[in-house]
Chains A and B, each alone.
Chain A
Amino acid sequence: MGVQYTGGPIVYDTAVPSTSSAIFRSALDAIISEVAIAAVGVAGGMKYTLQSPDGLQMKVWIQDLGDAGPFFTSAIRITPTSEDEARSGPYALLVYGTGLTYEAWANEAGFFVAVVGDTSTENNFGCAILSPPSVSSPCNVDATAPTVTELWCSSAGNSGGGQVNWRNSRYCSNGFALSYNGTLIDLSSALGFLWLTPLCESNNADWQYGSPGEIARYTSGTGLRIDPLVSIGPQIYGQLWDAHYYTLPQTVDSISSLTDTDDAGQPMTSSWVAWNNNVPSSPTGGAGTVLGTLMLLVNTATTSLANVAY
């Protein structure tokens, strides 16, 4: 398919202060407000409505409800919900007042927050409306495309301490949710974890204790860039907007300048941030994000993104 460009604004801020709840929430508000189609006050904060180019929606709630973080810290709460607020995913608690500097990424269809350069703590959150396969996509070559009215997912870092999430892995093992056409799937559904789908060997490439999977890379040493397909268990639901998946591990928060091609065949250069990272458990492969890195578009391309045909 290729990158699903929203063509809309993208905000990437690596200097989000967290000196206080108000300052933290205000900084996040400034970011998400640039991409949200609505913002409404709620107890302790605001709720924001995101809408993808497909017209699918979800909400992100950013609140101070007096939550405590680890070791006597305080935290704000970010909660993903369906547009009708009938379904909600696990919330993330992001610590403030301890000198942490956060970064946040937002587009029309997604919102990601984490501590700058940090993959070890649980202060991170990510949610996104997914792009389902288009009617003409290869996924629908042998069957009719389903009608999609709701499709979003989320990864919260704090739920179930010690678990992996989309900041330090390609999958979220605990604080995840995915809502599809009125049905919310989470850990209690026992259908599997929230995955970014890697292109890899056919053996159990996730088995880091045995024979970790080989990393897929070209002979030149570069990795493959594939669609950022999101799945739970065997079900692949769609792909993230303004994102792709790179088969090599990358330094978290590192920026790559890459070239894509627009529908006129013209090159367009854009920058991408490596959102997640894990240390390979062997030089050639291993568990977690060594089977792939989530790359998020952080600036508009040098040619018109509106010209991209997707």
Chain B
Amino acid sequence: MGLIDNIGAVPFSASKAFSSVITQPKFSAWTIEMVKDTLVSAGWTLSSSLPATTTISYPTGFPSFAGTGSGVVGCGGNALVITTATRSFRFCPYVAGQSPNGAGGPCIQFALGTSPSASLTNLCGAISTTPGLPYTATLTTSPELVITLTANTAGPFSNFDTVVADGRFGTTNGTILGGGYVLASTGPSPYSFAIYGQVGVDEQGIQFDFTMGPSGHTGICSYYLGTNGVIEYTIAANPYSFALFDGVTSLRSIASFAPDVLTSEGFTSAYCVFVVGPNGLTDRLLWQGISSISLDAAPITLGDSLRGPQALLLRAGGVPAVTLNGQPLLTAAYAMMAPDYTSAPSVVGKLWDCQVVTKTLDVGGTYQTGGRNYVVIASQDGTNAYTPASLLFCVDDNGQ
């Protein structure tokens, strides 16, 4: 190793991926699907697929009927309504001895049993066997009666189907959620995250639950990413990192990185993963919003501290730095952070496939240099004498 740190040497990974998806019905699901496909393409492992689920609780039980009824019945009171993307499924009870659907209504009828659990068992059977309804219902009876609805197909596309219970006996949050995937990174600082549908404030969003930390010190850091107003989500990924953003507002962005901790360049061998949460990534290179850091310790989540993770750069106050030929300067993206609030931050590694360029650029735009193509994942101007700069993420090794 020479005396001078090679701030121009960028660690490039073996695989990279880059995708985008525009707003459309089930945009949340399509975004989750894109994240999964892109990361798998970049070398991540699809650890598992998560089915969308919800529960309906019956804390006071459910009607039952021990006798024998008679006559023809139509749709009575709704016991349960499940609405998918294409239609609604309405479940109504009848009592033994009666003839269901006499009125020819659209409901799907199930027989009340001789006990609450028997009635709900019948309801579960009706749900699970109804053609076109992609759910399986199971009943648990202890400590209370609970029906769990589980999408027959794991993944995000059943997210945000809705459930309405009768209101007298059954209670539910009304939205089927949790469908998605668990993806695991590779490398010396492995981490994983579950990505699945989550409801926000009047929007269908995406939940990220990162599991990170060295062995014996793992923890989960959760982030929510909304979709309202998003025209397009773009993702850049490599085996150790990804950045997802809409290119318009930092609120709609999230990224995770496991820097290259190359001891031959002076870095200390350490487990290192950090997450830059929404409202943090795209409009600055010192991520002072909500972020999570695991640096040889269990992860911590920072708030509005000045101690967030950051990418270092060659300083120029207010105006983009240029070389003699008028070109911006390009340096490796040195990552600096502290493992907690009290420790001094230190330079822990370089971000894979990333460069810092001393120029303000449009986030989501492309940049070519050194025979490689990059996408801009963060950029800031010189307001308040900050250093104008952008963070580039290489998405193509093969030229311009």
Interfacial residues, chain A to chain B (CB-CB below 8 A): 1-3, 132-133, 138-146, 148, 192, 195, 197-207, 211, 214-222, 224-227, 229, 231, 233-238, 244, 258-261, 283-284, 291
Contact = CB atoms under 8 A, between A and B. Distances in A.
Interface of A is mostly: loop
A207 B369 CA distance: 32
A3 B267 contact: no
B21 interface: no
Contacts of A220: 266, 268
B321 interface: yes
A139 B321 CA distance: 12
Interface stretch (B75-83, B118-126, B340-348): B340-348
B323 A203 contact: no
A260 B334 CA distance: 21
B3 to A, nearest CB: 4
B312 A216 contact: yes
A219 B270 contact: yes
A244 B4 CA distance: 8
A181 B315 CA distance: 24
28 contacts: A2-B2, A132-B324, A138-B8, A139-B324, A140-B327, A141-B369, A141-B370, A143-B323, A145-B324, A197-B321, A202-B284, A202-B310, A202-B387, A204-B384, A214-B344, A214-B345, A216-B334, A218-B266, A219-B347, A224-B7, A224-B347, A225-B4, A227-B7, A229-B314, A234-B316, A236-B316, A260-B3, A261-B2
A144 B326 CA distance: 10
Contacts of A222: 266
A198 to B, nearest CB: 5
A143 B311 CA distance: 25
B306 interface: yes
A235 B323 CA distance: 6
A140 B266 contact: no
A145 B7 contact: no
Interface in B315-330: 315-327, 329-330
B313 interface: yes
A98 B119 CA distance: 104
Nearest to A144: B325
B187 to A, nearest CB: 18
A3 B2 CA distance: 9
Range class of the B interface residue count: 35 or more
B322 A236 contact: yes
B1 interface: yes
B346 A3 contact: no
Interface string B345-361: 11110000000001000
Contacts of A199: 7, 312-315, 331, 334
Contact of A235 (B1, B322, B389): B322
A228 B313 CA distance: 14
B319 A233 contact: yes
Contacts, number: 165
Contacts of B2: 2-3, 260-261
B316 A217 contact: no
A233 B358 CA distance: 13
Given A200-B313, A224-B5, A138 B330 contact: yes
Contacts of B8: 1, 138
Nearest to A180: B324
B317 A204 contact: yes
Interface string B280-312: 000011100000000000000000001000111
A218 B268 contact: yes
Can you list the 4 inter-chain pairs with the closest CB atoms, starting with the nearest?
A260-B3, A219-B268, A234-B319, A202-B285
B266 A236 contact: no
Contact of A234 (B4, B7, B320): B320
Contacts of A284: 344-345
Q: Which of B3, B318, B326 has the most CB of A within 10 A?
A: B3
Contact of A143 (B312, B325, B386): B325
B315 A197 contact: yes
Nearest to A145: B325
B336 to A, nearest CB: 6
A195 B321 CA distance: 12
A235 B326 CA distance: 8
